Amino acid sequence: MKELLVQLPPQDVIALMSSLRLGSHMTSNPQERDVIAQQVSQLQEAIDAAFGADSNYAGYLAKLSNLDMDLHTLEADLQRSEAQQDFGAAFIALTRSFLALRTQRAALMAEIATELS
């Protein structure tokens, strides 16, 4: 595989790691899991070199990973409701929760950009 070197802002690096971790949990394919594990390892090496031990990287990653997992779960619930054509009170509550989490995620991404840039 060819290497691609690009500069990414800290919030994008953390979002990529969160996405890889989520993908690792979501796949049942062992080969995909191995590929993702390799990507996580390579990205973690780059992160360690770039951020060092003094940053808030780990805390931000934990927060973002939790939000991304919750968003994924809510999205799946919304898709099930849509497939069942169930657009009642539960669907509205799920939608509101989803939107609130998206707002929290955007605020966290802005905080990461400010704190780690």
Q: Which of 32, 45, 52, 31 is nearest to 3 (CA)?
A: 45
pTM for the model: 0.87
Position of tokens 């802002």?
9
Digit-coded pLDDT (tens) for 23-81: 998 999 999 999 999 999 999 998 888 887 667 888 999 999 999 999 999 999 999 99
Contact 43, 93 (CB under 8 A): no
Decide which of 7 and 68 is more confident: 68
pLDDT for 37 equals: 95
Tell me the C-alpha distance between 50 and 10, whole Å. 9
Give the pLDDT of residue 1: 65
